[in-house]
Structure 1
Amino acid sequence: MSTILPSDATTDGRHAISAAALLATYMQAVNISVPNAALPHIQATLSMANDEVGWVFSSYIAASAVTMSVAQWLAGRYGRKTVYQTALVVFALGLVLDTLATTSIQFVLARIVQGAASGPLAPLSLAILLEAAPASRHARMSLAWTVCSLLGISTGPAIGGWLSEYYGWPSIFHVGLPMTAFVFLTMAMSLSEKRAERSKSFDFFGLTTFSVGMIGLQMLLDRGERLEWFASTEIWVEAGASVLGFYLFIVHVMTTREHFLRTALFQDRNLILSTVMSFALGFVLLPTLALTSPMLEELLNYPVDTTGYMTIPRGVALVGALVLTSLVPGQVDYRPFLMGGMTLVVYANWLMLGYSPAMDWRPVVEAGLLQGAGLGMVLPALARAAFGTLDPKLRPEGSALINLSRLYGSTIGIAVVQLFFYANTQAVHLALAKHLTPFRVAANAVVPIGKPNLAALNGMVTHQAATVAVIDQFEILMFAMLVVIPLVFFLRKPRPAG
């Protein structure tokens, strides 16, 4: 098995590889959220319906989750450098296809291509970082990798909002092309090939059935409201595919000794509880962004660049709290940090319930700061909880499980908040508009009320209904985190430092 660098490699070569790997990590993460603030421009150009907006994020994340699971096997079979550079080429292709899309379906398909290519980039970037650095710096490199990933997600809306406002929305994807080229060329010149001497078998049946179950569930949630649920044949097909996929996966897990999620993983209580909490973390992390920017742009009439800037404090607080919590010595009990971080997230979402059309930017920034700080405390504490009692041999699979749970938590979270948003908007609109009749309005009007004025009043009612519906979704996110807080009490105590 060859090493990652030739024996005569220079320190500059290692630094170049590390910089390129961190840039690739940032690049694949920032593309998750970079369309967030630019959505009004994208919707206007592609005639994208409001209930299709969630696909912009969930298509990318779901495709990434599938390919991430198989990244290490591909690297062992075909070579890490080959797989890494192929992913970069396909990622660049996805960026180009994003800018060439003329319909919402084409754009979503381009995001799927881009997301599928991003899946291997994150885990392989981490593996490259760890092998390019001495063992004494592994903890620091892992922290840098995590920071780059979170910075990407946090700064995406600000970058996307500014670029789309002044240079058009295709520019948010154009800027990724030179970064991709830099990473590709750096790895081509400095990274040596590495592949396993013996290619291990991979459980494609298990991955396929699990993915079919999750994607079927996601499509059911995304499309159900538009197609009137089980009145549509498509919804029946998606529901059947989801049930069949999960059924086959469960049977497969119970009847085979080895699969892509090893049975030994489910014997560690801390890992299972951490996986559930990681799902809730993902349920809150991205859906909050997916709700906040449209609320600021469409309901409060902020420019798209301003809505992007207003997400920056959340990202700064998240990264700052993560770094500080990561510096806490390992012998310190992680559970108070876990409890404190979750409490901060719940409190921040409770503050979001006070949003109103009459507010200025301060409540959004304050709630974002608190939520970011809470999430930053939870992430490293959750990692200590998950791996503190896990057999070191199982840590790669455990890390994959945690990452999958967070990614699927985000996709399901986005689908759920979109679903309830449109359902609540219709319900609140019906409740407010039932009194909006020509006779009732005319009885209280000092001037004659015609159809144009009634239409304007209906628009005001729709605006109020959408505002109430958005705020209700923050309540769902608050309860998603609230219900997992008691799980902290069931975590095993950390092992004494040895």
Structure 2
Amino acid sequence: MNAHLAGPQGAGTLRFAALLATYMQSANLPLPNAVLRLIQGSLSMTDDQAGWIFTSYLAASAITLPIAQWLAGRFGLKRVYQAALAFFVLGLLLATQATTPLEFVGARIIQGLASGVLAPLSMAISLETLPLEKRAKFGATWTAIVLFGIVSGPSIGGWIGEHYGWRPTFYLSLPLSAFIGLVMTLLLAEKKAEKRPTFDFFGFGSFTLGLISLQMLLDRGERLDWFASTEIWLEAIGCALGFYLFAVHVLTTKVHFLNKRLFNDRNFVLSTIIFFAVGFVLLSTMALTSPMLDEILGYPPDTTGSLTIPRGIGLVGAFLLMGRVPERFDRRLFVAAGVGVVIYANWLMLGYSPLMDWSPVAVAGAIQGIGIGILMPSLTNVAFSTLDPTLRPEGTGLFNLSRVYGSTLGVAIVQLYFFNNTQAMHLALASNLTPYRVGPMSLQALAGLNEMITGQAAFIAVVDQFKILMVAMLVVSPLVVFLRKPVPTN
């Protein structure tokens, strides 16, 4: 690849463009978070459909992420990267032109499919522009950029949405995409695998069938009254069949897209499970907090977006500081500390009140960001310190995929329980209102009373979901005890 670069300056420009693409695709995931109310109002989108804005992007990226390297080896790195960038731009344009919820979700799916290819290939391009001695530590930089994109996306979207409407939030990525495309066209040399690469499509397909069917079941179940619907039955059957075929495939074949040798390393397996929980908590918290501020408490989009900044500062700051911790310190202690801080942050969120100002949200968000910033690099160090170096490329893919899967299922689950709990709390609160207690009221007064009860019920339901996220971290916290002491990585 480096043969066609215009010296070190060309390599630096190529790496900058690849990192900019990494930031752009991660920032676009939560970008609509602070302007959900505007999107829902414009597209007549129901509350349960709003959750698809995130789950569609995540699920689509989880489909293409595992096959990105195979596509590059089979069809050429430059060609595949340019095609993914073009699809990402297409998704952006379709999102700005959407007039129905289905059109908007379809645009997000296209964005997600492209994102799943752009992320790993951007990292591969960045690595090849670096000297060999600097590649080992580059993973921390790349992860920090991904996290910065995730936590800064809502603040950017909120500010633009407040002043210019929600559609221009997607236009911001168009000039960035044009710059990235130009740099890749001029500086990136084509590269294919010398031998035609192989890929376990049966294992990948069966696993994807199970995952997507489960995702659809969770997203659509409430709307279709669960198993009273034929569609839900089909999705449940698809989920069971997909995971069954995948399990049989793993147990009966020697070669598949998840190497069985990965599961022989205790540290890697336990760290991957904890990393799944981190993904479950991080994006789910954001998917709950912004609608709570925007729709229930009535904050404007720019304020809602700005309240994600403390989480971002805490997360990225702690992440970068962890890179300066000497190797002699046992990283298991930092894993335990990170888990404890995240649990404490979610416990603080249980104290949210309709009467609070913005400060409790900023404080809890910053503490959660610090916890995750401590946890992620420490967990990565523990996971790969005992893993066979020959398995690290496959392990890296599975490790990062676990976070994506955790985020996908986490957002779907908290959205599902949010709507169920809102209905249950509305019924419980309204049951105490009788004509003998409130007296005769006009229709307008009754409508106002119902709106107030709905807001109270929704707020209680949001707080209940923070409890689920706290429990998720509590469940995986005992796994820290079973981690082996890390050894110096090669």
- Normalising by structure 1, we get a TM-score of 0.97
User: How many pairs align?
Assistant: 490
Amino acid at match of 2:461: A
Tell me the residue number matched to 2:453.
Answer: 461
**1:496: how far off?**
5.2
**1:452: how far off?**
2.5
**1:313: how far off?**
0.7
**1:438: how far off?**
2.0
Paired-residue identity, %: 59
**2:258 corresponds to 1:266:** no
* Distance in structure 2 (CA, Å) of the matches to 1:307 and 1:253: 45
Which range moved further: 158-167 or 134-143?
Answer: 134-143
1:432-475 alpha-carbon deviations (Å, 9 max, x no partner): 11121223312xxxxx5333322222221111111100000000
Tell me the residue number matched to 1:357.
Answer: 354
* Distance in structure 1 (CA, Å) of the matches to 2:151 and 2:28: 11
* Distance in structure 2 (CA, Å) of the matches to 1:184 and 1:253: 39
* Distance in structure 2 (CA, Å) of the matches to 1:185 and 1:469: 47
- Match of 2:28, SS state, is helix
**2:484 corresponds to 1:487:** no
1:390-433 alpha-carbon deviations (Å, 9 max, x no partner): 11111111111111111010111011101111111111111111
CA gap of 1:299–1:8, structure 2 versus 1, over 3 A, is: closer
Tell me the residue number matched to 2:7.
Answer: 10
Whether the 8 Å CA contact 1:331–1:496 is kept in 2: the answer is no
- Match of 2:239, SS state, is helix
- Match of 1:36, SS state, is helix
Whether the 8 Å CA contact 2:276–2:406 is kept in 1: the answer is yes
- Match of 1:282, SS state, is helix
**2:26 corresponds to 1:34:** no
Structure 2 matches for 1:365-384, cutoff 5 A?
365-384=362-381
Whether the 8 Å CA contact 1:154–1:314 is kept in 2: the answer is yes
Amino acid at match of 2:448: A
* Distance in structure 2 (CA, Å) of the matches to 1:437 and 1:105: 40
Tell me the residue number matched to 1:133.
Answer: 130
**1:142: how far off?**
2.3
Structure 2 matches for 1:378-393, cutoff 5 A?
378-393=375-390
**1:497: how far off?**
7.1
Whether the 8 Å CA contact 2:68–2:117 is kept in 1: the answer is yes
Whether the 8 Å CA contact 1:331–1:497 is kept in 2: the answer is no
**2:151 corresponds to 1:154:** yes
**1:140: how far off?**
4.2
Structure 2 matches for 1:290-439, cutoff 5 A?
290-439=287-436
- Match of 1:197, SS state, is coil
- Match of 2:351, SS state, is coil
1:229-279 alpha-carbon deviations (Å, 9 max, x no partner): 111111101100000000011011111100000111111111111111111
Q: 1:105 is matched with which residue: 93, 102, 105? A: 102
Q: 2:91 is matched with which residue: 91, 94, 97? A: 94
1:60-88 alpha-carbon deviations (Å, 9 max, x no partner): 11111111100111111111111111111
Which range moved further: 368-377 or 75-84?
Answer: 75-84
Q: 2:438 is matched with which residue: 435, 438, 441? A: 441
* Distance in structure 2 (CA, Å) of the matches to 1:28 and 1:413: 20
Whether the 8 Å CA contact 1:62–1:115 is kept in 2: the answer is yes
Tell me the residue number matched to 1:214.
Answer: 211
* Distance in structure 2 (CA, Å) of the matches to 1:332 and 1:120: 36
* Distance in structure 1 (CA, Å) of the matches to 2:354 and 2:71: 50
Whether the 8 Å CA contact 1:330–1:497 is kept in 2: the answer is no
Structure 2 matches for 1:176-191, cutoff 5 A?
176-191=173-188
* Distance in structure 1 (CA, Å) of the matches to 2:138 and 2:177: 21
- Normalising by structure 2, we get a TM-score of 0.98
Which range moved further: 451-460 or 122-131?
Answer: 451-460
Q: 1:248 is matched with which residue: 216, 220, 245? A: 245
**1:121: how far off?**
0.9
Give unpaired runs (5+ residues) of structure 1.
443-447
1:122-176 alpha-carbon deviations (Å, 9 max, x no partner): 1111111111011222244322211111111010000001111111111111111
Tell me the residue number matched to 1:21.
Answer: 18
* Distance in structure 1 (CA, Å) of the matches to 2:136 and 2:156: 29
Amino acid at match of 1:492: R
Amino acid at match of 1:474: F
- Match of 2:3, SS state, is coil
**2:79 corresponds to 1:82:** yes
Which range moved further: 322-331 or 295-304?
Answer: 322-331
Tell me the residue number matched to 2:469.
Answer: 477
CA gap of 1:404–1:97, structure 2 versus 1, over 3 A, is: same
